[in-house]
Structure 1
Amino acid sequence: MTTLEDPIEIGDVEVPNRLYRAPLLECAGTGPDAVETLIDDLEPAAESGVGLVCQGATIVRGDGGCAAPGMTRVHDPNFVARLSQLTDRIHAHGSRIFIQLEHGGLRSMETWHAEYRDEHPGLEQLAVSRPPRQLRLFDRLGFLEYDPHVLTTAEVYDLAADFGRSAAWAVDAGYDGVHLAGANMGIIQQFLSPFYNRRDDEFGGSPEARLEFLAVVHDEVRNRAGDVPLITKVPAETPAPPAPVVRRKLSLTDGVEIARRLERIGYDAVVPVQTSVVWDMSIVRGAYPERAWDNEALREKYDAAFGDSTRRRLVALANRIQSLQYDFESAWNETFCRRVRERVSIPVLAEGGVRERAEMDRLLGSSDGHDASSAVGATDDGPACDMVGMARPFYAEPRLGARLLEPDTGSMSEPRSEDGADARVASNPRVVCESCNNCTVPQVTGAPGICRTPSVLRKRGGLERAGAYERTDP
Structure 2
Amino acid sequence: MLQERQHSSVPALTEPLDVGGVTLPNRLYRAPLLEHAGNGPDAVEALIDDLEPAAEAGAGLVCQGATIVRAAGGCAAPGMTRVHDPDFVADLERLTDAIHDHGGRIAIQLEHGGLRSMETWHHGFRERNPDLEQLAVSRPPRPLRLLDRLGFLHYDARVLTTDECHELAADFGRSAAAAVDAGYDLIHLAGANMGIIHQFASPFYNRRDDEFGDPARFFETVIAEIRDRAGDVPVMTKVPAETGAPPGIARTLSADDCVRLCDRLADAGYDALVPVNGSVFWDMSVIRGAFPGRSWRDERFRAGYVDAFGSRPRAVLVAAANWAESLVYSREPAWNADLCRRVRERVDVPVLCEGGIRGRETIDALLGDACDAVGMARPFYAEPELPARLLREDAAADGVAVACEDCNNCVVPQATGEPGVCRTPAVLRRVGERRRDGEYERAGGADGGEIDRGTIDSESVDGGSVGDGTDADA
The TM-score normalised by the length of structure 1 is 0.91
1:428 matches 2:399: yes
- Counterpart selection for 2:357 from 333, 354, 359: 354
Amino acid in the other structure paired with 1:460: V
**Structure 1 gap ranges (5+):** 366-382, 413-424
Which stretches in structure 2 are left out of the alignment for 5+ residues?
1-9, 446-474
Correspondence for 1:188 among 191, 194, 197: 197
Match of 2:82 in 1: 73
User: What residue number does 1:391 align with?
Assistant: 377
Task: Tell me, in whole angstroms, the C-alpha distance in 2 between the residues paired with 1:406 and 1:3.
Answer: 12
1:406 deviates by 2.6
Q: 2:216 is aligned with what amino acid? A: L
Counting matched residue pairs gives: 436
Whole-angstrom CA distance in 2 between matches of 1:262 and 1:76: 28
**Alpha-carbon distance in structure 2 between the residues aligned to 1:154 and 1:18:** 39
2:225 equivalent among 214, 220, 227: 220
- Take 2:397 and 2:175, find their aligned partners in 1: how far apart are those partners? 44
Q: How far 1:110 sits from its partner (Å)?
A: 0.1
Of 279, 283, 301, which residue of structure 2 is paired with 1:280? 283
Question: Match for residue 323 of structure 1?
Answer: 326
CA–CA distance in structure 2, aligned partners of residues 468 and 392 of structure 1: 19
Give the C-alpha shift of residue 426 in structure 1.
Answer: 5.7
Higher relative contact order (CA 8 A, sep 6+): 2
* CA apart distance, 1:178: 0.2
Q: Deviations over 1:294-341 (max 9, x none)?
A: 110110011001101011000000000000011111000001000000
Alpha-carbon distance in structure 2 between the residues aligned to 1:47 and 1:462? 20
Alignment partner of 1:302 out of 290, 302, 305:
305
Task: Work out which of the residue numbers 293, 298, 316 in structure 2 matches 1:313.
Answer: 316
Q: 1:57-456, aligned counterparts within 5 Å?
A: 57-204=66-213, 209-242=214-247, 244=248, 246-365=249-368, 383-407=369-393, 427-456=398-427
Counterpart CA distance in 2 for 1:211 and 1:331 is 26
Q: Which residue of structure 1 aligns with residue 467 of structure 2?
A: none
- For the aligned residue pairs, the C-alpha RMSD in angstroms reads 0.9
* 1:135 maps to amino acid: L
**How many angstroms does 1:129 deviate by?**
0.3
- Mapped to 2, the partners of 1:264 and 1:100 lie a distance apart of 21
Residues 270-314 of structure 1 deviation map (CA, whole Å, 9 limit, x = unaligned)? 000001101101111000000000110110011001101011000
SS in structure 2 of the partner of residue 429 of structure 1: coil
CA distance in 1, matches of 2:370, 2:89: 35
Q: How far apart are the structure 2 equivalents of 1:147 and 1:141?
A: 15
Per-residue CA shift, 1:185-243, capped at 9, x if unaligned?
00000000000001111101xxxx2211111101000000000000100100001001x
Give the whole-Å Cα distance in 2 for the aligned partners of 1:85 and 1:179. Answer: 19
- Name the SS for the 2:211 alignment partner: coil
Who is 1:416 aligned against?
Answer: none
Moved over 2 A (4+): none
TM-score using structure 2 length: 0.91
SS in 2 for 1:253: helix
In structure 2, what is the Cα distance between the partners aligned to 1:472 and 1:70? Answer: 36
Identity of aligned residues (%): 66
Which AA in structure 1 matches 2:61? L
The residue type equivalent to 1:210 in the other structure is P
Q: Which amino acid counterpart does residue 404 of structure 1 have in structure 2? A: L
Aligned equivalents of 2:348, 2:381: Cα separation in 1 = 32
1:4 to 13, 17, 38: 13
3-state DSSP class of the match of 2:97? Answer: helix
Q: Determine the C-alpha separation between the residues in 2 that align with 1:175 and 1:71.
A: 18
Find the counterpart in structure 1 of residue 439 from structure 2. 468
Matched to 2:438, the amino acid is G
Q: Quote the offset at 1:428 in angstroms.
A: 1.7
SS in 2 for 1:139: helix
Q: How far 1:25 sits from its partner (Å)? A: 1.1
- What code does the residue aligned with 2:406 have? S
CA separation in 2, counterparts of 1:122 and 1:65? 13
Task: Name the SS for the 1:283 alignment partner.
Answer: coil
Following TM superposition, by how much is the alpha carbon of 1:398 offset from its aligned partner in structure 2, in angstroms? 0.3
